[in-house]
Amino acid sequence: MEYTTLGRTGLNVSVAGLGCGGGSGLGSKQGKSEAHSVAIVHQAVDLGVNLLDTAKAYGTEAIVGKAMQSLRRDQLVVSTKSSPLKDGKRLSAAEIVANLDQSLRDLKTDYVDIFNLHSLQLKDYDYAMNELVPALLKEQEKGKFRFLGATEQGPRDLNHDMFLRAFDDDPFDVIMVAYNMMNQNAEDTVFPETRERRIGTLIMFAVRAVFSVPGRLQQDVAKRIENGQLPGWLADKENPLGFLIHDGGAESVIDAAYRYVRHQPGADVILFGTGNPDHLDTNLASILKPPLPEADTARMRELFAHLTGFGLDFPAWRKADKPTQSN
């Protein structure tokens, strides 16, 4: 495993972080047993992963808490989250603190390393800063969490508007950004700011359905061709990203997806989620490989740098949510 310093937090973190939500929820969303999900956490830690990212909304805090009972807490970096909203209504400061306390109980720990405002949207940013953040900072002083973070709602914030607003205030030590090899705009907008301000940056959406579900990439590329956003010749390819797979290049599209984001300056930790032990091994192997060939990376930017929102799907358990129209 390789490790890096998570911005100004000073935390020493693995470059691969175990995402405990997404479509699998450590396998819990796919009907796997609690013991199976706990074993996934242990497998990741055995392979050197020390950052575990969960959330109240994921329903996996108790699983992570159980897994941690046989692990050394001081060797883990635990990140969890609470949305500032419930059923579309803003939470009060007391309610957000109550969520933090419940997360600590479910995780069976006295503190978390990072507590995030989850899926914070621009429309709720000022409320969060004026009402929620002051209350959370008081809890931070009590030792309930070490660093304050925020995650964006990628499918509804295609241009990272919330973070671009937040950079003026610089309230967050850690942020989580939606970024993948065909949704590249964070490279020009978010990463220059996080690098200058030394904000720890976690990457989500590196691989979702668009790269992992058979036929999905072709389907989504065809939509962009129809809308005039991509060249028509891509429709003639059985695999529109097949040019990435060659000797000296990627072994698969998923391999390419992880390697592209992993080696981008500004991407500290690449989150991956799975309930499959074999996939866990291969995902980690890809994240730890060298960068893609420079020519392949350049071609990806030439073809796709103008796209926004590509591959930013809500997980299946949130299928009622509709993403913003991508460009």
Q: Name the residue with higher pLDDT: 314 or 219.
A: 219
CA atoms within 13 A on the CB side of 69: 12
Query: How does pLDDT run across 261-281, given as a tens digit for each residue?
Result: 999 999 999 999 999 999 999
Say if residues 199 and 8 touch (Cβ distance below 8 Å): yes
Average of per-residue pLDDT values in the chain: 94
Q: What are the structural domains, with CATH classification, of the chain?
A: 3-318 (3.20.20.100)
pLDDT, residue 320, reads 44
Model confidence over 30-64: pLDDT tens digits? 889 999 999 999 999 999 999 999 999 999 999 99
Write down the pLDDT at residue 316: 63
Going by pLDDT thresholds of 50, 70 and 90, the confidence category of residue 184 is very high
Q: Which has the closest alpha carbon to 107: 67, 65, 56?
A: 65
- Cα–Cα distance, 152 to 223 (Å, whole number): 25
Average pLDDT over residues 138-144: 98
Q: What is the mean pLDDT of residues 221-247?
A: 94
The string of DSSP letters for 216-261 reads HHHHHHHHHHHTTSS-GGGGG-SSTTGGGBSTTSBSSHHHHHHHHH
Q: Is the pLDDT of residue 308 over 90?
A: yes
Q: What is the pLDDT of residues 108-122, one digit of tens each?
A: 999 999 999 999 999
pLDDT of residue 136: 98
Name the residues annotated as catalytic. Answer: 58
pLDDT at 325: 44
Quick one: pLDDT band at residue 318, thresholds 50, 70, 90? low
- Give residue 236's pLDDT: 85
Mean pLDDT for the stretch of residues 240-260: 97
